[in-house]
A and B are shown apart, each in its own frame.
Chain A
Amino acid sequence: MENRQADSLEVRPTKGRSELAAVETPRPAASRLKALWNARWMRRFRRDRMAVAGIICVLLLSLMAVFAPWLAPYDPAEQHILYRLRGPSDMFKLGTDEFGRDVLSRLIYGSRASLVVGLASVLLAGVAGTIIGGVSGYVGGTFDQIVSSVVNILMSFPSLLLGLMVVVALGPGTTNVIIAVALSLLPNFIRLARAPVLALREREFVLASRALGASQARIVWNHILPNILGPISVMSTLWIATAIRTEASLSFLGLGVQPPTPSWGNMIRSGVNNILSNPWLAVYSGLAITVTVLAFNVIGDGLRDALDPKQRS
């Protein structure tokens, strides 16, 4: 006890010194973070209890995905043949599936598939969509017309149908599902990036920069991009929710993440196939999907309300 106190006493001056150092030579990254934390919209966001709960929930889920090997009581693919389709017991807290695999372990590992597909596909679609939409809006002309009419058509298609089409072309599997979900989200991102670029192109600060002889790349990177990232990041959160739902749907149809790799979608599939012998199988994994998607939706709603207080959802 005394030792620990001594430790903390020793640490304190160093902390003070580093704070002093920070005042003398301001570190840009830290001060930028601090400015972000104190920004007016961030304060509004921090007061939004639902959104904060959503953030905590997503953090817990991420921890669960990262530390799955330590949290799961069994290997998710290990088959306990003698204990097939059992209900909850001391040995298997949430029971077993048709191959005698531990449902709790599969549920924990399943968070990986949902989060990886959700994040990777939104990142992929976000980067590609911002580039295509941004270029399309910035360049304008025939290229822009073609892009926006194709986007308009694709936008009217539900993401599940687009995802299905791509999976049919590429075949099932985790990587292909990421591509399929990304492509199904792409039109949304293109449209989101294009519209503000169209308006920004004509703004004074962009014109001034051009008059000063800035290169196209510099204008886009320094003046256009920072101004469109806000709405894109808000919508990304909401589209992670859509992406996770689409992955679950594709895996439910047997076209997504393939067993024995557990995903909540393919666990629902096995639950429905064995609904008479172990009805709980489908209930757990569906609940996991609902909670995860809910968390992302709540964060997205909170961000939108905080950034645009006039338009409350």
Chain B
Amino acid sequence: MKAYIARRLLSIIPTLLIVGSLVFFVMRLASGDPAVAMLGSAATAESIAELREQMGLNRPLVVQYVDFLLQALRGDFGTSFATGRPVAEQVFEAFPDTVELVFWGMLIGTLVGVPTGIIAGVRPNSIFDYISRIVALIGLSMPAFYLGILLLLVFSLELGWFPVISTPKGGFLERLHATFLPALSLGLIQASFIMRMIRSSLLEVLQEDYIRTAHAKGAPPRRIHYRHALRNALVPVITVFGLYLGTLLAGTVLTETVFNRPGMGRLLVGAIQQRDYPLIQGGLMIYAAVIVVVNTAVDILYGLADPTIRYD
């Protein structure tokens, strides 16, 4: 088990390397010459040449690439074109707000999705199953940011229960009040994914021989459902949890825009609109790093939950 965990942890390095390379070359493709991008097309040739010298753009691309990776490893992503402040500083300022949103979103998604999935899976084709499946199908098809807009229209503009602009400030309750609607919109969409996954996984497990054996030996259904079936049904759900978290994280980009909420997503979208390449680069790297780390953690959890899984 220790070797497995160590291998998984080590695999973070090549993964981040590939992602880092992807981001670096995509950004080069995008910006062309960063010096021109920074100074604008009106700049003189001399000032561009000077800046190129300053930024080290005269060096071979390979050297710049290695340099970028080494700096990224130290958490140095350069300075933002727009604000002149270090990218890392801005990213880490925005990060907690996004984490807060993702946390509440995931919590709502799990609290709603898991029980509904279990009830629907244990009683397939019941009215509850039927209704929850239709609701989940709609949730699956509705973009989370659209649900956010609908919630905003009803609960903020019409009823006035929540602020129109979500600013996470102040004490715990005030923050929660500001975060609730965006988190709810992400969480409810998430819940429909989780519900469907748990339901189909549970249905599959309930067909297994050992479930029939348990019934045959006279075990009470409740015990069979929750002891025998659910535990095994949750194993495949763990694997997609990382994927769900990634989707949720990406969804914050849109939800933060709808609710005018500060965070990584707003920072990234703003950077893209202002062509602030160092900030885009840093933002994408942080997203990528978080997703890679989460997926590795999920992989390790999966290994712990299902002892029959062993990678070599």
Chain A interface residues toward B at CB < 8 A: 149-150, 153, 156-161, 164-166, 168-171, 241, 245, 248-249, 252-255, 268, 271-272, 275-276, 279, 282-283, 286, 289-291, 293-294, 297-298, 301, 311-313
Q: Indicate if the CB atoms of A157 and B157 lie closer than 8 Å.
A: no
Q: Indicate if the CB atoms of A160 and B251 lie closer than 8 Å.
A: yes
8 Å CB contact of A253 from B152, B247, B249, B253: B253
Given contacts A157-B288, A268-B149, A311-B204, contact A164 B141 (CB under 8 A): no
Given contacts A169-B29, A283-B153, contact A272 B273 (CB under 8 A): no
- The A-contacting residues of B in range 132-150, CB under 8 angstroms, are 137-138, 140-143, 145-146, 149-150
* Binding stretch for chain A, among B18-26, B56-64, B88-96, B172-180: B18-26
Q: Could you name 6 residue pairs across A and B whose Cβ atoms are closer than 8 Å?
A: A153-B18, A156-B292, A165-B26, A290-B141, A293-B141, A294-B140
Closest 5 CB pairs of A and B: A158-B250, A286-B146, A294-B141, A293-B141, A160-B250
8 Å CB contact of B150 from A158, A166, A254, A283: A283
- B225-242 CB contact bits vs A (8 Å, 1 = yes)? 000000000000000001
Q: Indicate if the CB atoms of B137 and A294 lie closer than 8 Å.
A: yes
Secondary structure dominating the interface of B: helix
Q: Across the interface, which residues of A come within 8 angstroms of B250, CB to CB?
A: 158-161
Q: Is B291 an interface residue (CB 8 A)?
A: yes
Q: Is B254 an interface residue (CB 8 A)?
A: yes
Chain B nearest CB, measured from A13 CB (Å): 49
The answer for the CA separation of A290 and B268 in the assembled complex, in Å, is: 26
8 Å CB contact of A286 from B140, B143, B257, B295: B143
Q: Is B246 an interface residue (CB 8 A)?
A: yes
Q: Across the interface, which residues of B come within 8 angstroms of A157, CB to CB?
A: 246, 288, 291
8 Å CB contact of B18 from A150, A170, A268: A150
- The A-contacting residues of B in range 1-60, CB under 8 angstroms, are 14-15, 18-19, 22-23, 26-27, 29-30
Q: Is B269 an interface residue (CB 8 A)?
A: yes
Q: Indicate if the CB atoms of A255 and B254 lie closer than 8 Å.
A: no
Chain B interface residues toward A at CB < 8 A: 14-15, 18-19, 22-23, 26-27, 29-30, 137-138, 140-143, 145-146, 149-150, 152-153, 157, 196, 200, 203-204, 242-243, 246-247, 249-251, 253-254, 257-258, 268-269, 272-273, 280, 284, 287-288, 291-292, 295
Q: Across the interface, which residues of B come within 8 angstroms of A290, CB to CB?
A: 138, 141-143, 146
8 Å CB contact of A168 from B27, B137, B291: B27
Chain A nearest CB, measured from B182 CB (Å): 13
8 Å CB contact of A156 from B243, B257, B284: B243
Q: Across the interface, which residues of A come within 8 angstroms of B295, CB to CB?
A: 156
Q: Indicate if the CB atoms of B292 and A168 lie closer than 8 Å.
A: no
Q: Indicate if the CB atoms of B200 and A168 lie closer than 8 Å.
A: no
The answer for the CA separation of A275 and B151 in the assembled complex, in Å, is: 13
Chain B nearest CB, measured from A308 CB (Å): 12
Chain B nearest CB, measured from A75 CB (Å): 27
The answer for the CA separation of A268 and B255 in the assembled complex, in Å, is: 13
Q: Across the interface, which residues of A come within 8 angstroms of B253, CB to CB?
A: 160-161, 164, 253
Chain B nearest CB, measured from A300 CB (Å): 10
Q: A289-B143, A294-B137 are in contact. List 6 more A-B contacts (CB 8 A).
A: A156-B292, A165-B26, A169-B27, A252-B143, A253-B272, A294-B138
Chain A nearest CB, measured from B83 CB (Å): 19
Q: Which residue of B lies closest to A156 (CB)?
A: B295
The answer for the CA separation of A166 and B29 in the assembled complex, in Å, is: 10
Chain B nearest CB, measured from A306 CB (Å): 16
Q: Which residue of A lies closest to B265 (CB)?
A: A253
The answer for the CA separation of A283 and B29 in the assembled complex, in Å, is: 37
Given contacts A158-B250, A298-B137, contact A165 B150 (CB under 8 A): no
Q: Indicate if the CB atoms of B291 and A275 lie closer than 8 Å.
A: no
The answer for the CA separation of A298 and B284 in the assembled complex, in Å, is: 33
Q: Indicate if the CB atoms of B200 and A311 lie closer than 8 Å.
A: yes
Q: Across the interface, which residues of A come within 8 angstroms of B140, CB to CB?
A: 293-294, 297
The answer for the CA separation of A248 and B280 in the assembled complex, in Å, is: 21
Q: Indicate if the CB atoms of A161 and B287 lie closer than 8 Å.
A: yes
* Most-contacted residue by chain A among B15, B141, B204, B247 (CB, 10 A): B141
Q: Indicate if the CB atoms of B149 and A271 lie closer than 8 Å.
A: yes
Q: Indicate if the CB atoms of A156 and B149 lie closer than 8 Å.
A: no
The answer for the CA separation of A304 and B288 in the assembled complex, in Å, is: 32
Q: Across the interface, which residues of B come within 8 angstroms of A160, CB to CB?
A: 247, 250-251, 253-254
* Most-contacted residue by chain A among B157, B203, B243, B250 (CB, 10 A): B250
Q: Which residue of A lies closest to B243 (CB)?
A: A156
* Most-contacted residue by chain A among B22, B145, B146, B292 (CB, 10 A): B146
The answer for the CA separation of A164 and B142 in the assembled complex, in Å, is: 19
8 Å CB contact of B145 from A165, A249, A254, A313: A249
The answer for the CA separation of A290 and B287 in the assembled complex, in Å, is: 27
Q: Across the interface, which residues of A come within 8 angstroms of B249, CB to CB?
A: 158
Q: Indicate if the CB atoms of A252 and B200 lie closer than 8 Å.
A: no
Q: Across the interface, which residues of B come within 8 angstroms of A165, CB to CB?
A: 22-23, 26, 284
Q: Indicate if the CB atoms of B196 and A313 lie closer than 8 Å.
A: yes
Given contacts A157-B246, A298-B137, contact A289 B146 (CB under 8 A): yes
Chain A nearest CB, measured from B15 CB (Å): 5
The answer for the CA separation of A153 and B18 in the assembled complex, in Å, is: 8
Chain A nearest CB, measured from B193 CB (Å): 12
The answer for the CA separation of A141 and B29 in the assembled complex, in Å, is: 31
Q: Across the interface, which residues of A come within 8 angstroms of B247, CB to CB?
A: 158, 160
Q: Across the interface, which residues of B come within 8 angstroms of A276, CB to CB?
A: 157
